């Protein structure tokens, strides 16, 4: 992976120059936009790195066994951080996305598919459930849960096949449904989500460490809440299915029409949010302040169609530039959350690059505005890029290369657009996930 931390060579504050408008003798610093934007993104990643955030929350040894179970894009690195912080015996299994595994000595790491589940995920989940079921009152089960766990932790409930879950999951991903809506449906098709994993180990003391990738940081939504009893109902799942016009088998519709009930609530359990979108944005804001740039965190929970969000944030950026509201330039607007994309074309696009292409079109070549938008797991959609940069010359450079930005946006092919411009951000798998990161720098 390529990281550039706060002390890396891409320092956004090179030598000062005297401003033509400066009559006081003070110096004005020149900021190189792309290194500055990338430095803020890297600070956000560091704030969510399991190597830095897990150790303070590792519990004391129990009377019996410490069993570590988990799922998500950060699960393997979280497991390694537990091993580094805990000297006693450990056992257990975690499942992460293909390519996101790290070596652990005492905890088994499995890999499976994301965002559409596969048989490897089913097998890993069964191993996790089997281990949970052995926990006794003397044991402590440490659950490691992060974004991506909904697909990786896969155990279809009775009456639902893996193929049916795969199809419904794929439809949800194309539908434009929000993450909480997708996870509501997933819970009601699962034998492990909605607190059912915790119920399998209900005799033991339980501690859950969470890295949030959802707006609002609701533990019941992160990875579809495998250790949090479900407060949604099957009727809600059916309403979501109908709202987005999903094509589901009549057998599954009949199954969801039944009252499924709730999983048992463990008697001894605790949940700790160890990394979140807000924490990541605050880390980025510190980088901006250190560079003498005023940051404003707009929100850590922005949702909606990526191109609609782009239109709104472009309007705010132009208001700053034209009227000095809600703050004066130079400044940086920071935001997180999870936008959605309703797929209508057949291009290669993720929500962050779609946001960036739409933002470039809305800004229409405005001078002095640069932006970065990335998925903090390092994978935007199904393409191994985290996201992309834009600047005032994005559209003119595209035109000179024969690209039609609007046509590519209509075809959901923003990855193709930014790859041609060589404006993609590539980190490789970051082994964490606190959702989207956006920074708009207004000079």
Computed over every residue of the chain, the mean pLDDT equals 91
Give me the pLDDT at residue 102, please. Answer: 96
At 230, is the pLDDT very low, low, confident or very high (cuts 50, 70, 90)? confident
Taking residues 161-177, report their average pLDDT: 91
Label each residue of the chain as H, E or C: CCCCCCCCCCCCCCCCECCCCCCCCCCECCCCHHHHHHHHHHHHHHHCCHHHHCHHHCCCCCCCCEEEEEECCCHHHHHHHHHHHCCCCCEEEEEEECCCCCCCCCCEEEEECCCCCCHHHHHHHHHHHHHHHCCCCCCEEEEEEECCHHHHCCCECCCCCHHHHHHHHHHHHHHCCCHHHHHHHHHCCECCCCCHHHHHCCCCEEEEEEECCCCCCCCCCHHHCCCCCCCCCHHHHHHHHHHCCCCCCHHHHHHHCCCCCCCCCCCCEEEEEEECHHHHHHHHHHHHHHCCCEEEEEEEEEEEEHHHHHHHHHHHHHHHHHHCCCCCCCEEEEEEEEEECCCCCCCCCCHHHHHHHHHHHHHCCCCCEEEEEEECCCCECCECCCEEEECCCHHHHHHHCCCCHHHHHHCCCHHHHHHHHCCEECCCCCCCCCCEEEEEEEC
The pLDDT of residue 2: 36
pLDDT score at 260: 54
Confidence of residue 11 (pLDDT cuts 50, 70, 90): very low
- Provide the pLDDT for residue 16: 38
Which tens digit of pLDDT belongs to each residue from 255-266? 898 865 555 566
* Span of 80-94, 123-137, 220-234, 321-335 with lowest mean pLDDT: 220-234
Among 336, 375, 303, smallest CA distance to 114 is for: 375
CATH 3.40.50.10180 fits 64-275, yes or no: yes
> Do 64-275 and 36-48+278-442 fall under one CATH topology?
no
Percent of the chain with pLDDT over 70: 91
Q: Closest Cα to residue 386, out of 413, 339, 346, 353?
A: 353
Q: Is 421 or 13 the better-scoring residue by pLDDT?
A: 421
- How confident is the model over 160-179, as a mean pLDDT? 91
Q: What is the pTM of this model?
A: 0.85
Mean pLDDT in residue range 168-172: 92
More confident residue, 325 or 267: 325
Q: Give the mean model confidence (pLDDT) for residues 55-66.
A: 97
User: What is the model's pLDDT at position 88?
Assistant: 92
Structure tokens at 147: 């974004």
**Do the Cβ atoms of 169 and 189 come closer than 8 Å?**
no
**Residue 215 or 250, more confident:** 250
How far is Cα 253 from Cα 261, in angstroms, rounded to an integer?
A: 16
Mean pLDDT over 421-438 rounds to: 96
428 pLDDT above the threshold of 70: yes
pLDDT value at position 308? 98
The predicted structure's pLDDT at residue 13: 43
pLDDT over 90 (residue 368): yes
Structure tokens at 268: 């001894």
Average pLDDT over residues 261-288: 87
Boundaries of every domain in the chain: 36-48+278-442, 64-275
Q: Tens digits of per-residue pLDDT, 309-357?
A: 999 999 999 999 999 999 999 999 999 999 999 989 988 889 999 999 9
Least confident of 4-8, 135-139, 384-388: 4-8
Is the Cβ–Cβ distance between 313 and 358 less than 8 Å? no
Please state the CATH superfamily assignment of the domain spanning residues 36-48+278-442 in this structure.
MOFRL domain (3.40.1480.10)
Percent of the chain with pLDDT over 90: 81
Gap between the Cα atoms of 424 and 412, Å rounded: 16
- The predicted-structure confidence for 83-115, as pLDDT tens digits, reads as follows 999 999 999 999 999 999 999 999 999 999 998
Looking at mean pLDDT, say which of 17-31, 274-288, 372-386 comes out highest: 274-288
For residue 197, CA distances in Å to 129, 143, 263, 272, 421 come to: 7, 10, 9, 17, 45
- Mean pLDDT within 160-183: 90
Instruction: Name the more confident of 180 and 60.
Output: 60
| pLDDT value at residue 215 | 86
């Amino acid at each position: 992976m390529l990281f550039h931390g706060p002390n890396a060579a891409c320092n956004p504050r090179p030598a000062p120059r005297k401003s033509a408008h400066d009559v006081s003798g003070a110096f004005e610093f020149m900021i190189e936009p792309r290194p500055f934007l990338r430095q803020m993104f890297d600070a956000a990643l560091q704030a969510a790195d399991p190597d830095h955030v897990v150790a303070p929350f590792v519990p004391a040894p129990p009377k019996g066994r410490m069993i570590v179970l988990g799922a998500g894009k950060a699960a393997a690195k979280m497991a390694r951080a537990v091993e580094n912080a805990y000297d006693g015996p450990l056992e257990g299994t975690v499942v992460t996305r293909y390519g996101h595994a790290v070596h652990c000595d005492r905890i088994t790491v499995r890999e499976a598919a994301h965002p559409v589940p596969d048989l490897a995920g089913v097998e890993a989940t069964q191993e996790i459930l089997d281990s949970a079921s052995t926990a006794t009152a003397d044991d402590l089960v440490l659950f490691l849960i992060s974004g991506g766990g909904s697909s990786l932790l896969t155990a279809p409930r009775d009456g639902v096949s893996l193929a049916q879950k795969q199809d419904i999951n794929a439809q949800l991903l194309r539908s434009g449904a929000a993450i909480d809506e997708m996870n509501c449906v997933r819970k009601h098709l699962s034998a492990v989500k909605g607190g059912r994993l915790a119920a399998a180990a209900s005799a033991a003391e339980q501690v859950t460490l969470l890295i949030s990738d959802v707006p609002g940081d609701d533990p019941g939504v992160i990875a579809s809440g495998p250790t949090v009893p479900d407060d949604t109902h099957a009727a809600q799942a059916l309403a979501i299915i109908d709202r987005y016009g999903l094509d589901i088998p009549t057998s599954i519709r009949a199954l969801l029409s039944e009252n499924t009930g709730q999983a048992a609530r463990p008697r001894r359990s605790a949940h700790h949010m160890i990394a979140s979108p807000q924490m990541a944005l605050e880390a980025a804001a510190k980088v901006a302040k250190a560079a003498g740039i005023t940051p404003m965190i707009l929100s850590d929970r922005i949702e909606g169609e990526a191109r609609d969000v782009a239109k709104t944030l472009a309007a705010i950026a132009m208001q700053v530039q034209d009227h000095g509201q809600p703050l004066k330039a130079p400044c940086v607007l920071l935001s997180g959350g999870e936008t959605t994309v309703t797929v209508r074309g057949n291009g290669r696009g993720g929500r962050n690059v779609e946001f960036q292409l739409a933002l470039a079109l809305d800004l229409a070549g405005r001078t002095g505005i640069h932006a970065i938008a990335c998925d903090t797991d390092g994978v935007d959609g199904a393409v191994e890029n985290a996201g992309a940069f834009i600047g005032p010359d994005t559209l003119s450079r595209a035109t000179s290369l024969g690209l039609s930005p609007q046509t590519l946006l209509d075809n959901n092919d923003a990855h193709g657009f930014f790859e041609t411009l060589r404006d993609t951000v590539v980190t490789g798998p970051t082994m964490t996930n606190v959702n989207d990161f956006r920074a708009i720098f207004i000079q």
